[in-house]
Amino acid sequence: MSGILFVFAFPPFDIWQLAFLSLVPLLMAAKEDDGKNFFLGVISGFLFYSISFSWLYRLAGPIYFLIALYLSIYWGIFLYLIFGLPERGRIFTAGAVWFLLEIIVSYLLTGFPWLLLGLSQWKNPYLIKMAGMTGIYGLSFLVILGNFTILYSFRKRYLLSWIISLAVFAAVIFFPLSSFSSLHYGENLKIMVVQPNIDTLNRSSVKDIEKIKAITLEYIRKEKVDIIIWPEGIYPDIITSDIIDDLKKFTLQLNTGLILGTFTEQDGKMYNSAILIEGEDIQIYNKTHLVPYGEFIPGGRMKAINRIFERMAGYIPHLKRGSELTPFSFRDKKIGVLVCFENIFPEITATLTEEDAGVFIVITNDGWFGNSSGPYQHFAHNSIRAVETGRYFVQSSLTGISGVVSPDGTVEDIVNSDGNFLFVDGVSVCNIPMIKGKTFYSSFGDIPLFILSVLITGVAICKKTWKN
């Protein structure tokens, strides 16, 4: 029940209220100091990830079950640890332990923080503002806190923790957390987001460029813009000098800038890149965080692993990782560009915020997900990152979901056709203010919650040790 309920708390279902109830059946099944708790957690987590990550089958084949199994192990560790630690204060101990485990998930083995529990709250108007204080991990902390608060409602042994937990939720809902931010709105940048709806399995490099140019020209005749955003992979091969020269003329003709995603080659190495073109000026950002199995193979230096992957998936990815994480400079403005799933990593947006990025552009090709929950899960991360950084997020997809998210996490505009977001072509034009300054989370990151979680967990471990 817990595994299935959690599926519906996340995109595309977005029943965020379920997140505060979903873990309760699993917690009720657990027993004190019982090794079986680990296996109960693994089973529940594996069911959740197997269903939620079903779109990964298109990319990695049955290997995706290994990813689901790996992530479910953290559920097992969590359940085993929590019911092995003292009962008193467990409501807050659970939140602290879960926070520490999610930090490990986000960094170990290149990190894969795709479905952290906090993502379920991206449409929660009451709690999402907490991300400006604690990031997505603080939202996860609250989700765990909520489940244990419900589990231990009105029980004498947990009464104090229960009351404090309710007070925490009340404070988050009613306290103006934005007062901890120092954000300043500057000059607007008029941005055109283009979603060309190109089939990823049936590509023609030249025709794809001509199609998106035609869509762009159709709309730009109606109103002028400062910069045009084309998605990742709009040119699916290593871009040639002839194409670059053509796009230089294109931007000069329109007196605009252009950001697009393509492959580039430098020193015999191939990169997944974002390119900013404005007349003769060209800037290149090479993606710094590659997709495991999609763009590189973990442990791929071993021939045996390469052979196994090729047999199961039918190909060998060979992209190289970029070495510099810097924003583009466009007309005295700094633009942070994220390629594909780089928007799921808080540390990447934090670095670009430190470099004075005033807006974030996400270019992606979500056509690989097909008609699944993948594009919805991917786009939802923009809302969390927007609140964390206090910046606008603008996403352009080859096909998938394209739109604009404001600094409070609200989706302001989205490319659609009669309410359909997937497999449609269209354009969104918005005036986006460049923002300077920092949120509390931008200034201090995960350090405050990390220290608090270590202290809470440490006290619980000491109590357990003294008791024994």
Q: Domain of 434: which CATH number?
A: 3.60.110.10
Do 162 and 268 reside in the same domain of the chain? no
Mean pLDDT is lowest, of 99-113, 153-167, 208-222, 223-237, for 153-167
Q: Look at residue 314 in the predicted model and tell me its pLDDT.
A: 56
pLDDT at 189: 96
Whole-number pLDDT of residue 300:
59
For the cut 90, the answer to whether the pLDDT of residue 181 exceeds it is no
Q: What is the pLDDT of residue 466?
A: 83
Question: CA nearest 263: which of 255, 253, 254, 273?
Answer: 273
Averaged pLDDT for residues 69-80: 97
CA 102 centroid distance within chain: 14
**Strand 333-339 to strand 328-330: parallel, antiparallel, or no bridges (unpaired)?**
antiparallel
Distance CA 146, CA 93 (A): 13
Separation of alpha carbons 447 and 453, rounded Å: 10
**What is the distance between the terminal CA atoms of the chain, rounded to a whole angstrom?**
34
Note whether 181 and 132 are within 8 A (CB). Answer: yes
- Chain mean position to CA 315: 26
Burial class (CB in 10 A: 0-12, 13-18, 19+), 156: exposed
Average pLDDT score over residue span 268-297: 90
| Predicted local confidence at residue 12, as pLDDT | 95
Q: Look at residues 172, 324, 340 and name the one whose alpha carbon lies nearest to residue 262.
A: 340
Q: Answer yes or no: do 386 and 411 share one domain.
A: yes
For the segment 364-390, the average pLDDT, to the nearest whole number, is: 94
Nearest to 145 by CA among 63, 313, 24, 57: 24
Domain for residue 309, yes or no? Answer: no
Q: Domain for residue 169, yes or no?
A: yes
Tell me the mean pLDDT in the region 207-223: 89
Please tell me the predicted confidence (pLDDT) of residue 45: 98
Q: Where on the phi/psi map is residue 359: left (φ > 0), alpha (ψ -120 to 50), or beta?
A: beta
| Dist CA 263 CA 89 (whole Å) | 52
Stretch 393-422: mean pLDDT = 92
In-domain check, residue 312: no
> Do 100 and 208 fall into the same domain?
no
Q: Does one domain contain both 207 and 343?
A: yes
Is the pLDDT reported for residue 315 higher than 60? no
Say if 302 falls within a structural domain. Answer: no
Tell me the torsion sign for CA atoms 421, 425, 431, 434. positive
CA distance 344 to 381: 6
Q: Can you give the pLDDT at residue 313?
A: 55
Write the CA distances from 116 to 42, 88, 369, integer angstroms. 16, 26, 19
**Tokens 């871009």 found at:** 239
Query: Is the pLDDT reported for residue 63 higher than 80?
Result: no
Same domain, 171 and 201: no
Do 63 and 10 fall into the same domain?
yes
- Asked whether residue 42 carries a pLDDT value surpassing 80, the answer given is yes
Q: Rounded to an integer, what distance in angstroms lies between the CA atom of residue 65 and that of residue 54? A: 9
Please check whether residues 351 and 427 belong to one and the same domain: yes
Q: Is residue 17 part of a domain?
A: yes
More confident residue, 61 or 341: 341
Residues facing 405 on adjacent strands: 393, 411
Range of the domain at 202: 182-288+323-438
- Closest listed residue to residue 41, CA positions, set 3, 91, 92, 94: 3
Tell whether the model's pLDDT for residue 465 goes beyond 90: no
- Compute the distance between CA of residue 376 and CA of residue 359 in angstroms, rounded to an integer: 21
Residues 76 and 191 in one domain: no
| Local structure of residue 158 (DSSP, 8 states) | G
Q: Phi and psi for 3 in degrees, rounded to 5?
A: -60, -45
Predicted pLDDT of residue 302? 63
Quick check: 304 pLDDT over 70?
no
The answer to the question of residue 338 being in a domain is yes
Structural domain count of the chain:
2
Residue 125 shares a structural domain with residue 214: no
**Does a cis peptide bond (omega within 30 degrees of 0) precede residue 12?**
yes
Would you tell me the crossing angle of helices 131-151 and 374-389 to the nearest 10 degrees?
Answer: 120
- Regarding whether 450 and 421 lie in a shared domain, the answer is no
What one-character-per-residue DSSP string does 62-115 give? GGHHHHHHHHHHHHHHHHHHHTTS-STTHHHHHHHHHHHHHHHHHHGGG---TT
The residue whose two tokens read 């920092």 is: 438
Q: Are residues 86 and 33 in the same domain?
A: yes
Q: Which of 283, 234, 281, 278 is nearest to 254 (CA)?
A: 278
List beta partners, residue 265: 270
Rg (CA), the chain: 23
pTM of the entire predicted model: 0.93
User: Is residue 389 located within the same domain as residue 369?
Assistant: yes
- Domain assignment present for 78: yes
Residue 306 lies in a domain: no
Dihedral class, residue 193 (left if φ above 0, else alpha if ψ from -120 to 50, else beta)? beta
